């Protein structure tokens, strides 16, 4: 459970996200995943970065109010419906999914997804018992590991990186 996600609420106007990216780039902090969702006035940005501690300090010093979530890396079969099985395990265990991010790193040939929930310890136990969370996946993934080396990027995942 060493993977963490930073989220920010930002005004929805041109250049706001560029300001966040500039802070990270100038500090040589790499983005491993980014998600942006917005309303006409506000945006929500979720980031998985190589150095979350440094990113938190820099973003806070710049006046942003970053929030952090712990994530669980789960392995999936590379076929339709495999993420549904994870969602069903969580639903049966009455655990609410808060976020999910498909990671570019794989556990062998299996895709990995990082999830956050309202009850991380319970979700981890449920997913481990169901065979989705593995020691290999947990040992493989940390924020800095996402950007170490040259991960294999499956062609179906390329659109998620843009």
pLDDT tens digits, one per residue of 30-51? 887 788 888 999 999 998 888 8
Closest-CA residue to 130 (of 89, 76, 80): 89
Which portions of the chain are predicted below pLDDT 70?
Answer: 1-2, 104-105, 134-162
**In the chain, where are the structural domains located?**
3-69, 70-161
48-70: per-residue pLDDT in tens?
888 899 999 999 999 999 999 88
Q: Please give the full DSSP string across 37-103, using - where no structure is assigned.
A: EE-SSEEEEEEEES-HHHHHHHHHHTT---EEEEEEEEE--SSTTHHHHHHHHHHHTT--EEEEEEE
Predicted confidence at residue 25, as pLDDT, reads 94
Structure-token pair, residue 50: 């190589």
Instruction: Decide whether 3-69 matches 70-161 in CATH topology.
Output: yes
Rounded to whole angstroms, what are the CA distances from 54 to 29, 91, 133? Answer: 8, 35, 28
Structure-token pair, residue 95: 């655990």
* Cα–Cα distance for residue pair 59/156, rounded to 1 Å: 32
76 phi and psi angles, rounded to 5 deg: -125, 160
According to CATH, what is the number of the domain 70-161? 3.30.2130.10
Closest-CA residue to 1 (of 105, 131, 159, 122): 122
The architecture in CATH of the region 3-69 reads 2-Layer Sandwich (3.30)
Predicted confidence at residue 91, as pLDDT, reads 97
The 97-107 sheet, strands edge to edge: 31-38, 42-49, 3-11, 67-75, 110-117, 97-107
Predicted confidence at residue 160, as pLDDT, reads 33
Residue 63: which region, alpha, beta or left (left: phi > 0; alpha: psi -120 to 50)? left
CB atoms within 10 A of CB 22: 12
The residue behind tokens 């902090």 is 29
């Amino acid at each position: 459970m060493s993977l963490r996600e930073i989220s920010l609420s930002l005004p929805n106007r041109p250049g706001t996200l560029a300001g966040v990216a500039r802070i990270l780039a100038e500090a040589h902090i790499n983005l491993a995943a980014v998600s942006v969702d917005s309303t006409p006035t506000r945006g929500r940005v979720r980031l998985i970065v190589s150095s979350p501690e440094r990113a938190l300090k820099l973003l806070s010093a710049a006046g942003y109010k970053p929030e952090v979530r712990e994530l669980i890396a789960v392995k999936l079969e590379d076929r339709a419906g495999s993420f549904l099985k994870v969602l069903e395990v969580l639903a049966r265990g009455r655990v609410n999914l808060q976020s999910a991010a498909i990671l570019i790193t794989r556990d062998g040939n299996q895709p990995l997804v990082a999830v956050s929930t309202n009850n991380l310890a319970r979700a981890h136990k449920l997913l481990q018992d169901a065979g989705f969370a593995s020691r290999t996946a947990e040992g493989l993934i940390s924020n800095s590991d996402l950007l170490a080396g040259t991960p294999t990027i499956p062609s179906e995942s390329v659109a998620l990186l843009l």
